[in-house]
Amino acid sequence: MVEVSAKGSGRISVAALLCCKPGREPRLLYRLLGYRGRTREQKGFDVRDF
């Protein structure tokens, strides 16, 4: 997981997975999650997000 932050815009978390099979093109699966500090807003990834 990589966190990228910018002044005043909250936080964006990125989770990625690379899938490779012999003889096939590799696939990149990713998911973004933005966090702005609001009440009851999810801060990070959970097992259920995947």
pLDDT digits (tens, 9 = 90+) for 5-47: 666 667 778 888 999 999 999 999 988 877 777 777 777 777 7
48 belongs to a structural domain: no
Q: For residue 27, give its domain range.
A: 2-39
pLDDT for res 19 = 94
Please state the domain count of the chain.
1
49 belongs to a structural domain: no
14 belongs to a structural domain: yes
pLDDT for res 5 = 60
Cβ–Cβ under 8 Å, residues 13 and 35: yes
- pTM recorded for the entire structure: 0.55
Residue with the larger pLDDT of the pair 18 and 4: 18
User: Which of 45, 36, 40, 42 has the alpha carbon at shortest distance from 17?
Assistant: 45
Cβ neighbors of 49 (< 8 A, separation 6 or more) are: 15, 31, 33
